Amino acid sequence: MVPHRRAPSAPPAGFADLEAATAGLRPPFAVVDLGALRANAVHMVRRAGGKPIRLASKSLRCRPLIGDVLRQPGFSGVLAFTLAEALWLAEDTEDVLVGYPTADVPALRQLASDERAAARVTLMVDSVEHLALISEAVGPSGPPLRICLDLDASLRLLGGRLHLGMRRSPVHAPEQAAELARAVVSRPRFRLVGVMAYEGQIAGVGDNRPGPGPMRAAVRLVQRISARELRERRAAAVRAVRSVAPLAFVNGGGTGSLESTSAEPAVTELGAGSGIYAPALFDHYRGFRPLPAAYFALAVVRRPAPRHVTVQGGGWVASGAPGADRLPVPVWPRGLRLLPAEGAGEVQTPLVGGAADGLRMGDLVWFRHAKAGELCERVDRLHLVEGDRIVDVVPTYRGEGHAFL
């Protein structure tokens, strides 16, 4: 069981503390700094302005830590990434929204045959095709199934010829949302309970990333325009859907947009999770600065040249458009960097910098992953540190035998 306190239990650990706590571990291993994690949770709640945060499980991928964060005031419910995962989490969690549509027929049948799970899990749809697939999988009889509509939050300009944001739902206009809502309520086994819209072009794109100043200015301009457009369109879509059926929740936002999304009257809850671990992609926002809470450590195994060392492993590259910002970041000892021509390797990763000459074979180099939950797909356990002590070791999804995606 994760030691639990209502407030941050300790100041964030420094690297001297992390090294002292993990001195007996064999790399590669991953560490979570509980002081930083809980400080991040408190700060996210403060940024949410009184609206509950539905915790994005894909960002944590560790059931004990999901439970720990959900016990913090201000967090309520889980935003899952697959139906199979949602069914597993619903064994212990009463409110699980599947954040993406599913075509997992066996999992749909399991949900449809389990009254307790059906009352706890909400499915996501963005088309009549989804409704038809679910209907065919589950049949006409059984407990009612909870349905949420996925509203596209991207910014479309020039009559739709310019698309800025995620390629998610085809439901963009309020009229399309109302039409899909009518299709849901026309099926007796479905209960329309929610609307979700994730503004990835705002929440997931740092507005202070390194690079040319004009590029940062362009990102900020697009985000301002998009936030203003979405505020009006989301409110209109919610009104249109509520004219068809009452809604239990309207979900929006992400770690990067908690303040702006919470200010929208139409939004009743926020979805976020990456800010709990605060991976490297979240270093480049002007409005908030989370504390790095998750690290992994690799051992030095070569010294190919002066000012160079090589560590074993390291190719823990994050998903998304390929680029340097998807690579892990060496953070300790300070002064090390990846080689542009090699990046992070599957079996070995060369590093260069003045700190390399002070490292011996077997010494550790500490890294941060670029994105949050994908770190846990690489390890089967997380070592939880407070100060200079490991206070617990908890399994990741992988450590519990699950690889949902």
N-term to C-term CA, the chain:
26
For 128-182, how does the pLDDT look when each residue is reduced to its tens digit (9 = 90+)?
999 999 999 999 999 999 999 999 988 888 777 888 788 889 999 999 999 999 9
Q: How confident is the model at residue 316 (pLDDT cuts 50, 70, 90)?
A: very high
Higher-confidence position of 378 and 216: 378
Q: Which residues contact 403 (CB under 8 A, 6 or more apart)?
A: 377, 397
Confidence of residue 260 (pLDDT cuts 50, 70, 90): very high
Of all residues in the chain, the percent with pLDDT exceeding 70 is: 97
CA nearest neighbour of 277 among 2, 62, 121? 62
Mean residue pLDDT across the chain: 93
Average pLDDT over residues 19-39: 96
* 318: DSSP letter: P
What three-state secondary structure class fits 30? strand
Predicted confidence (pLDDT) per residue in 318-364, tens digit: 999 899 999 999 999 999 999 999 999 999 999 999 999 999 999 99
Tell me what pLDDT residue 5 has. Answer: 32
**35-89 residue pLDDT tens:** 999 999 999 999 999 999 999 999 999 999 999 999 999 999 999 999 999 999 9
pLDDT level of residue 227 (50, 70, 90 thresholds): confident
Are 78 and 92 a contacting pair, CB within 8 Å?
Answer: no
Confidence of residue 218 (pLDDT cuts 50, 70, 90): confident
Phi, psi of 225 (to 5 degrees): -65, -45
What per-residue confidence (pLDDT) applies to 212?
A: 82
Expressed in percent and rounded to 5, the helix, strand and coil fractions of the chain are 35, 25, 40
DSSP 8-class letter at 8:
-
Q: Of the given ranges (101-110, 239-248, 250-259, 282-291), which has the lowest mean pLDDT?
A: 282-291
Band (pLDDT 50/70/90 cuts) for residue 1 is very low
192 forms beta bridges with 147
Given this model, what pLDDT does residue 275 score? 96
Lowest-confidence region among 72-76, 136-140, 250-254, 285-289 = 285-289
Dig out the tokens for 212 from the structure. 């040319």
Q: Please state the φ and ψ torsions of residue 207, each to the nearest 5 degrees.
A: -95, 10
Whether residue 284 is predicted with pLDDT greater than 90 in this model: the reply is no
pLDDT at 8 over 80: no
Q: At what angle do helices 213-242 and 174-185 cross, to 10 degrees?
A: 40
